[in-house]
Amino acid sequence: MKKRDRQDFPAAGLPLARQVQRGRESRASGRAQGSVEVTDEIAFLYQTAKWDKPAKLDLREISRKDGVVNGGTRLFDAKGVQCLDSRQRVRFGLAGDGLLLDNLGTSRGSREVELYNGRAMISLQTNGGVSEVSVASKDVRPICEDRVTETLFSLSC
């Protein structure tokens, strides 16, 4: 039987004894083995507020490389509290010169997905042109990102 060594994983030594506060948190840890020093850091948002009925989505660029833009959406209630455990379905759309990288059978490569941790992601290929990306969900006002180009991804709703 394999015996697990609890110190043999990336976050080993991360001090979790401190009380976690609501909001943005970050923790860092480091360790030296001989002449090599290894550090690890984690940043997260700790939310304890309960959310009400989903009311709005946001849509934003997450990263961009070689003509492919990764975007994401998050679901919020009317007070701006993220709906972290919502499993609501969202649908992405695109109009313009680009190509939505969908029908890949993955959580990041599908036109319609179920939210996970109150969010969903999609990728698109810009094809060097201009596109508009949209996201919609039942009982939530749809939104769009205007003019996704090689250099621009700005909100206009």
pLDDT top residue among 20 and 101: 101
**Of the given ranges (30-34, 79-83, 91-95, 97-101), which has the lowest mean pLDDT?**
30-34
Q: Considering the entire predicted model, what is its pTM?
A: 0.69
- Asked if residue 112 lies in contact with residue 90, where contact means CB atoms within 8 angstroms, the answer is yes
Tokens of 34: 């001989």
Give the residue from 145, 156, 141, 135 showing the smallest Cα distance to 64.
145
Separation of alpha carbons 46 and 144, rounded Å: 28
Asked whether the predicted pLDDT for residue 157 surpasses 80, the reply is: no
Give the residue from 64, 78, 113 showing the smallest Cα distance to 93.
113
pLDDT top residue among 4 and 26: 26
User: pLDDT, tens digit, for every residue of 115-143?
Assistant: 998 999 999 998 888 888 888 898 887 76
Residue 152, pLDDT score = 38
The mean pLDDT of the chain is: 80
